[in-house]
Amino acid sequence: MEQLSLALTVNGEAYQVTTRPYATLLDVLHDQLGLTGTHEGCRMGECGSCSVLLDGHAVNACLVLAPDVEGRAVTTVEGLAENGSLSALQAAFVQCGALQCGYCTSGMLISAAAFLKRVQETPTAAEVRRALVGNLCRCTGYAKIIDAILAVATKSPNEMNVASEFAARGHD
Partner 1 sequence: MSRPNSQHGDMIETLIGQRLPKRDAPAKVTGQTIYGHDLVRPHMLYGKIVRSPYASARIVAIDTSRAEKLAGVRAVLTARDAPHRLFGYGADNLILKGTRVLHVGDEVAAIAASDPYTAQEAAQLVRVEYEPLPAVFDPDDALLPNAPLVHPARGSNLFRQQLYQHGDPDAAFQEADVIVKDEFELPYAANMPLEPCFCLAEFDANDELTLYSTTQVPYLLQRDLANALEMPASHIRILQTAIGGSFGRGLDMYPFEPIAVLLAQKTKCPVRLAFDRREEFLAAPIRQPIRVKMRSAAKRDGTLWARDAHAVLNIGAYASWGTVTTVVMAETVGSLYRVPHARFVADLVYTNSPVTGAMRGFGNPQSTFCVEVQMDRLADALGMDPLEFRLRNVNQPNTTTPQGLKITSCGLQECLEILGDIVDATLIPRKSSCFPQGNDYSFEVRKRDDLRPHSSSLIPPHLARGIGFASTMNVGGGARIYRSDGCGAIVKVDDFGRVTLITGASEIGQGADIVLAQITAETLGMTLDAVRVVNGDTALAPWDVGVHASRTTFIAGNAARLAALDARKQLLETAAEQFHVAPEELDARGGFIFRKNDPTARVPLEKIIRARHFRPFGEPVIGKGWYDPPNEMADEHLRGNLSASYSFAAHAVEVEVDTETGRVRVLRVGAAHDVGRALNPLLIEGQIEGGIHMGIGYALTEQLRVENGRVVNDSLREYGIPTTLDMPPIDIRLVETLDPEGPFGAKGVGELGVTPVAAAISNAIYDAVGVRITSLPITPEKVLRALRAKHGFQSL
Q: Which residues contact 84 (CB under 8 A, 6 or more apart)?
A: none
- The whole-angstrom separation of Cα 56 and Cα 113 is 9
User: Using an 8 Å Cβ cutoff, are 6 and 19 in contact?
Assistant: yes
Please state the closest distance from residue 28 (CB atom) to partner 1, in A.
14
Of 9 and 100, nearer to partner 1 (C-beta) is: 100
Please state the closest distance from residue 135 (CB atom) to partner 1, in A.
8
Please state the closest distance from residue 147 (CB atom) to partner 1, in A.
5
Taken in order 140, 144, 150, 156, the sign of the CA dihedral is: negative
99-to-13, 45, 53, 127 alpha-carbon distances in Å: 28, 21, 20, 20
Of 71 and 121, nearer to partner 1 (C-beta) is: 121
Length of the chain: 172
Of 71 and 134, nearer to partner 1 (C-beta) is: 134
Pairing of strands 13-19, 73-75: unpaired
Of 18 and 71, nearer to partner 1 (C-beta) is: 18
Tell me which residues touch partner 1 (CB under 8 A).
20, 30, 35-44, 46-47, 49, 76-78, 80-81, 86, 90-106, 109, 124-126, 128-130, 132-133, 135-144, 146-148, 150-151, 154-155, 159
Please state the closest distance from residue 55 (CB atom) to partner 1, in A.
20
